[in-house]
Amino acid sequence: MPLPRLSRYLPILSWARTYDRDTATSDLVAAVIVTIMLIPQSLAYALLAGLPAEMGLYASILPLVAYALFGTSRALAVGPVAVVSLMTATAIGQLGLSEPADIALAAVTLAFISGVFLALLGVLKLGFLANFLSHPVIAGFITASGVLIAASQLKHILGIDAGGHTLVELVISIGEHIGETNLITLVIGIGATAFLFWVRKGLKPLLLKAGLNRRLADVLAKAGPVAAVVVTTLLAWGFGLDERGVKLVGEVPTGLPPLSAPSFDLSMWQTLLLPAILISVIGFVESVSVAQTLAAKRRQRIDPDQELIGLGASNVASAVSGGFPVTGGFSRSVVNFDAGAETPAAGAFTAVGIGLATLVLTPLLFFLPKATLAATIIVAVLSLVDFSILKKTWVYSKVDFTAVTATIVLTLLVGVEIGVSAGVLLSIFLHLYKTSKPHVAEVGLVPGTHHFRNINRHDVETLDGVLTLRVDESLYFVNARFLEDLVLERVAKCERLEHVVLMFPAVNEVDMSALETLEELNRRLAEQDITLHLTEVKGPVMDRLKRSHFLQDLSGEVFLSQYDAWCALKPGAAEGSERERVAAQ
């Protein structure tokens, strides 16, 4: 049966067979709405990425078709998105290029590397690597990126030349050039921003109140950016605003995307490799989380490894058609879903819409003020900014708070790449650090039960001459030595100690380093005539211990439950009679 294998890599084979007219209609409606959103967004994100406007359109055609073939999400809308566009700008900025053709080539190459990397991860089924980004780190990174993106667009609102890839650089550069502000541009920029905020918050309730049905009100509210584009373009054309210093999009070539090929220049690859990997990972995480959320609402499932292949194919498609890195965006995907998209075909229909736009609309874009595009970006990204993650993590976990704070601060002050890398590494390090000094509780019997709890938290009974410690962590190289020191220290504080019982219900692993430590501990305690027992050792850990000499050398016993140990070590318990050696369990 070759078909199931093929449909694993080509999910289209599974949904296309049952595709019918009703589904097509739903997909088509969704596609129209997404196209209306995507035209200004694609132009704006190209601007954000430091690329010519048409590249935004090119990145919104073939990549959508590629995802429709290879993707598993029924509602994901692929294309240029804000955070990835910002990271693209940063990555290309590192090359220090000035020729527009070189910059475009770098963007295409970045998309290519990113696409190949994503597809490779997918084929190797390494999608789980995205889990190494914790939720707070992602939330912090998105928030900081939103602030950075908004700040980077201020120059277009003011109509000045300014630059920089960090918040400080941006603020200083804007400060230096603020005297050159073009007032007409500023009016257009602020007007468009205010209008778009109003559309987002105030228009829909108004339309509903006026008696429009919900779907139409939705569509009209989504068309806000298009209205802003049309009105400001007409103003610029009517009043000849380009002659009054208002910066316009200018000439945009008409026609479908050209064929393009990435550069294979080694030094360019060396510079772009790490940024491409970060762009891939961030893009994948954003995309897969929205895809998963939407799939869950309809009780569907997505396959993260196949998603990697889908996004990889999209980026390779972007690279061969003059685009730049793309991924599944949050806002357009939600709109696509709400508008009723049922299959990835909706994405293909959107691609047709954008294709038509490149054939028909491009001459009209000449008079579009850049300030309008900046306004659409600012309004879009400010909805991503949510500092509440700081408060949430502060209350819940200082470790998470530290990671998210570092991510936000470093992203804003040093840059997106350092910010997200530091967040990931710090959260891993802090996790390991926490496990390096595990919580160890002395426990006793909760009266009337067979249950043992911390003597400091619960009113429990203990036995004379017996120290029972519950080890609240897997034992591995990072904390092996710590446990040995801690047990010996506690033992040194007790008088007339005969037994040490280590309760292992929370020990999910005992690696080679920890095994050596346990052997050493057993030996050191035996020297002091103290017997070492283990209780509640889990099956997988026990299986492993049986492969070593430890169980033979252990001075005491391994009890199935802590209560068994209690009964056996209780004064008066007949030596050995109640003890059950469970080495054979």
Footprint on this chain of a second copy (rule: CB under 8 A)? 128, 131-137, 296, 392-393, 395-397, 399-400, 427-428, 431-432, 434-439, 441, 446, 449-451, 453-454, 457-458, 472-474, 476-482, 505-509, 511-513, 515-516, 524, 536, 538-540, 544, 547-548, 560-561, 563, 585
Least separation in angstroms between residue 154's CB and a second copy is 32
* Residues ≥6 apart with Cβ < 8 Å to 309: 9, 70, 118, 119, 122, 123
Least separation in angstroms between residue 496's CB and a second copy is 19
Give 68 or 290: the residue with its C-beta nearer to a second copy: 290
Least separation in angstroms between residue 138's CB and a second copy is 9
Long-range interactions of 194-197: CB distance < 8 A, separation 24+: 195/224, 195/227, 195/228, 195/375, 196/224, 196/225, 196/228, 196/375, 196/376, 196/379, 197/379
Give 226 or 390: the residue with its C-beta nearer to a second copy: 390
Least separation in angstroms between residue 266's CB and a second copy is 21
Give 8 or 135: the residue with its C-beta nearer to a second copy: 135
Give 122 or 369: the residue with its C-beta nearer to a second copy: 122
**DSSP code of 464?**
T
Q: What is the DSSP string of 363-386?
A: GGGGG-BHHHHHHHHHHHHHTT--
Residue 67 to residue 62: CA distance in whole angstroms = 9
Least separation in angstroms between residue 487's CB and a second copy is 14
Give 171 or 560: the residue with its C-beta nearer to a second copy: 560
Give 214 or 431: the residue with its C-beta nearer to a second copy: 431
Least separation in angstroms between residue 566's CB and a second copy is 12
Q: How many residues does the chain have?
A: 585
From residue 556, alpha-carbon distances to 193, 250, 493 in Å are: 74, 83, 21
Residue 443 to residue 490: CA distance in whole angstroms = 13
Least separation in angstroms between residue 466's CB and a second copy is 19
Residue 501 to residue 560: CA distance in whole angstroms = 12
Residue 407 to residue 136: CA distance in whole angstroms = 9
Give 5 or 297: the residue with its C-beta nearer to a second copy: 297
Pick the closest to residue 58 from 29, 38, 34, 30 (CA basis).
Answer: 38
| Residue 445, H or E segment | strand 440-445
Pair of tokens at residue 144: 């900081």
Give 8 or 392: the residue with its C-beta nearer to a second copy: 392
Nearest-5° angle of CA 62, CA 68, CA 69?
A: 95
Give 490 or 538: the residue with its C-beta nearer to a second copy: 538
Residue 150 near residue 382, CB atoms below 8 Å: yes
SS3 for 463?
Answer: coil
Q: What is the DSSP string of 493-514?
A: H-SS--EEEEE-TT---B-HHH
Give 6 or 432: the residue with its C-beta nearer to a second copy: 432
Least separation in angstroms between residue 479's CB and a second copy is 7
Give 218 or 473: the residue with its C-beta nearer to a second copy: 473
Give 180 or 509: the residue with its C-beta nearer to a second copy: 509
Residue 401 near residue 394, CB atoms below 8 Å: yes
CB atoms within 10 A of CB 481: 15
Least separation in angstroms between residue 508's CB and a second copy is 5
Give 421 or 513: the residue with its C-beta nearer to a second copy: 513
Q: What is the DSSP string of 275-316?
A: HHHHHHHHHHHHHHHHHHHHHHHTT----HHHHHHHHHHHHH
Residue 287 near residue 313, CB atoms below 8 Å: no
Phi, psi of 565 (to 5 degrees): -65, -40
Give 17 or 457: the residue with its C-beta nearer to a second copy: 457
Least separation in angstroms between residue 358's CB and a second copy is 39
Where do we find the tokens 């008066």?
A: 572
**DSSP code of 259?**
P
Least separation in angstroms between residue 461's CB and a second copy is 15
Least separation in angstroms between residue 336's CB and a second copy is 22
Give 214 or 439: the residue with its C-beta nearer to a second copy: 439
Least separation in angstroms between residue 474's CB and a second copy is 8
Residue 499 to residue 528: CA distance in whole angstroms = 11
From residue 390, alpha-carbon distances to 134, 228, 514 in Å are: 14, 34, 36
From residue 116, alpha-carbon distances to 310, 440, 487, 573 in Å are: 11, 47, 51, 68
Nearest-5° angle of CA 185, CA 186, CA 192?
A: 90
Least separation in angstroms between residue 276's CB and a second copy is 21
Residue 159 near residue 178, CB atoms below 8 Å: no
Q: Cα torsion at 116, 296, 131, 417 (round to 10°)? A: 60
Return the half-sphere exposure (C-beta side, CA atoms, 13 A cut-off) of residue 295.
Answer: 18
